[in-house]
């Protein structure tokens, strides 16, 4: 369950997760070093590393991302079809 009432939406895992997925989609090869993602979260969203780790854990748990050799990438089987 994701809490929405009384919580700051900018530190919600869904909000941060959308940010992460967007950054991965914009990056070359749809992958990025985890340290770069952490720095982007701190600079662009002003969130703590704890919030980013929680979000990456959640994205990994729902199979939206993969993690390999310090790189995070979009899980190809979980990509959304843009032909809506």
Do residues 24 and 65 make contact, with C-beta atoms less than 8 angstroms apart?
Answer: yes
pLDDT at position 11, please?
Answer: 80
pLDDT tens-digit profile of 15-66? 999 999 999 999 988 899 999 999 999 999 999 999 999 999 999 999 999 9
pTM: 0.80
Q: How far apart are CA 17 and CA 65, in angstroms?
A: 10
Where along the chain do its domains lie?
A: 10-71
CA Rg, the chain, in Å? Answer: 13
pLDDT, residue 4, reads 57
Q: Which helix (H) or strand (E) holds 31?
A: strand 31-33
Q: Where are the alpha helices (DSSP H) in the chain?
A: 13-26, 34-40, 49-61
pLDDT value of residue 2: 55
Task: Tell me the pLDDT band of 3, cut-offs 50, 70 and 90.
Answer: low
């Amino acid at each position: 369950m994701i809490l929405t009432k009384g919580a700051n939406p900018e530190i919600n895992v869904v909000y941060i997760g959308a940010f992460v997925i967007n950054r991965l989609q914009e990056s070359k090869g749809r992958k990025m070093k985890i340290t770069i993602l952490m720095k982007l979260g701190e600079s662009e969203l002003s969130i703590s590393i704890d919030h980013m780790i929680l979000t990456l854990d959640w994205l990994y748990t729902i199979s939206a991302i993969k993690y390999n050799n310090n790189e995070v990438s979009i899980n190809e089987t979980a990509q959304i079809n843009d032909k809506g």
